[in-house]
Amino acid sequence: MRPGEIDAELSRLMREDRGRLLAALSADLGQFELAEEALSQAFESALAHWGRHGVPQKPLGWLLRVARRKAIDRIRRAARWTERERTLAVLAEREGDGAKMAEIPDERLRLIFTCCHPALDPKSRVALTLRSLCGLTTSEIARAFLDTEPTMGQRLSRAKAKIAKAGIPFRIPDRAEWDDRLGSVLAVIYLVFNEGYAATSGRDRLRVDLCDEAIFLARLLVDLRADPEILGLLSLMLTTHARRAARADASGRLVPLREQDRELWDHAQAQEGLATLDSALVMGAAGPFQIKAAISALHVSASCHDATDWRQMLLLYDALLVHEPSDVVRLNRLVVLAELGGVEVALSQLRSLEPQLHAYQPFHAARADLLSRAGAHAAAQEAYDSAISLSRNAAERDFLVRRKSAVGGVGDAGEGATQKNAGHNGPAKSNREV
């Protein structure tokens, strides 16, 4: 295998399996930072070793085994040997098991709950989990939060140091502790899904691996506790992901919701999502994820774009604002208002959001679309330029360029800038359907 192919394979493993490997190693060590450092060194070793000897038959097992050895070396060099004996014994036992892929335990929920410990501030919980579980870069997380990269880097470093200093345990909490953690955990899983559904950067808009991982984690949570908000999150992701096959054409170009072939949607997955929402709503404790799921349900239930119940959707956004009075939700509501014929009203109210959302790409994309529909073509093209300049995803940027060139034609608000924000402390990242 050539060096470029080795790089590509390691990049794929880093993208798809880093979270599972880091969680398994953290469970062994009980030390988050040490696990992260050892895994990083294992990937560096793989780059050199695989280049000489080829990719091993079980690459994940190889990486986990080497990471354990790196951790053992670090522990042996530490001054306070006696405190590390138990950890070394555990690692030695793991080292002898061959580390086959089937034997790598799935500890990702424990990793999420550790990162979402109440000792950390809400923003750090989300950022740290996106970094550790998904392997998002510091710059990607910073863009999602509208922060600078150095600021986000400092936040992540402080969060890791606090986990170590406070001795935060690597475990799923007891039921009595769930209320303090569940909100952050659900927000993180949703953001994992969102990063897959609308990637912050790169060539592809859709990363199915992250979407599938988020859905898998939500199912694990449902197995632990049938909470209505957990069911709401699972429903939201299922009904959204059901539309993935129609979001791009054969050439990879994004297809607006209005133009999507609904026969390509995964109707079985959509129906599962609708049934899951029904199970949540009968519990009688509607929360923000259930409301978002209900919004998504209106899209998958409509026979065509024009048949969407926009009036009901507007009411749902009003209800969502009670739970999450964020500027992103207000933006989403205005897009729906425009679908009901209130384009001029939506544009007027949009001005009040510009100071807060001036660095937020979906704001400019939504504004460009509404300006185009209102006949203000020159202003629409300027707004598209702003959106294009803020986009870091190649497929999304190509879509916006094409929308700009088509200004003067039929507008498309699609799902608008459908809510993708986890709340005040989550990244201001939209799920604008295109």
* Digit-coded pLDDT (tens) for 141-162: 887 776 889 999 999 999 988 8
Chain-wide mean pLDDT for the chain? 83
The yes-or-no verdict on residue 261 having pLDDT over 80 is: yes
| Helix pair 122-134, 3-29: axis angle to 10 deg | 130
pLDDT, residue 83, reads 52
User: Which two structure tokens, joined as six digits, stand for 330?
Assistant: 């207000």
Contact 188, 237 (CB under 8 A): no
235-253 residue pLDDT tens: 999 999 999 999 888 888 8
Instruction: Evaluate the CA torsion angle 429, 300, 302, 433 in order and state its sign.
Output: positive
Q: How far apart are CA 360 and CA 357, in angstroms?
A: 5
Phi, psi values for residue 107, rounded to 5°: -110, 20
User: Quick one: what percent of the chain has pLDDT higher than 90?
Assistant: 39
pLDDT, residue 88, reads 53
Q: How far apart are CA 132 and CA 183, in angstroms?
A: 18
Q: How far apart are CA 341 and CA 338, in angstroms?
A: 5
Q: How far apart are CA 127 and CA 426, in angstroms?
A: 8
Nearest CA among 267, 180, 175 for reference residue 221: 175
**Residue range 320-434, CATH number:** 1.25.40
Residue written as token pair 């402390």: 425
Nearest CA among 311, 413, 409 for reference residue 369: 413
Type of residue numbered 323: H
Contact 368, 380 (CB under 8 A): yes
- Domain-wise residue ranges, the chain: 3-106, 226-308, 320-434
| Helix pair 32-53, 59-77: axis angle to 10 deg | 130
Confidence of residue 419 (pLDDT cuts 50, 70, 90): very low
pLDDT, residue 430, reads 42
Q: How far apart are CA 336 and CA 309, in angstroms?
A: 10
10-37 residue pLDDT tens: 888 887 788 888 888 887 777 778 888 8
Confidence of residue 345 (pLDDT cuts 50, 70, 90): very high
Contact 416, 432 (CB under 8 A): yes
The yes-or-no verdict on residue 414 having pLDDT over 60 is: no
pLDDT, residue 105, reads 60
Span of 67-76, 270-279, 405-414 with lowest mean pLDDT: 405-414
Nearest CA among 237, 146, 143 for reference residue 192: 237
Q: What is the pTM of this model?
A: 0.74
Q: How far apart are CA 283 and CA 175, in angstroms?
A: 18
Average pLDDT over residues 343-372: 94
Between residues 34 and 310, the one the model is more confident about: 310
Of the ranges 113-127, 140-154, 170-184, 357-371, the best mean pLDDT one: 357-371
User: Which two structure tokens, joined as six digits, stand for 219?
Assistant: 């199912």
Provide CB contacts within 8 A for 389, sequence distance 6+. Answer: none
The yes-or-no verdict on residue 333 having pLDDT over 90 is: yes
Nearest CA among 363, 350, 295, 320 for reference residue 146: 363
Confidence of residue 418 (pLDDT cuts 50, 70, 90): very low
pLDDT, residue 410, reads 46
Local structure of 393: helix, strand or coil:
strand
Contact 180, 113 (CB under 8 A): no
Average pLDDT over residues 204-211: 70
Q: How far apart are CA 215 and CA 221, in angstroms?
A: 10
363-400 residue pLDDT tens: 999 999 999 999 999 999 999 999 999 987 788 889 99
User: Quick one: what percent of the chain has pLDDT higher than 70?
Assistant: 84
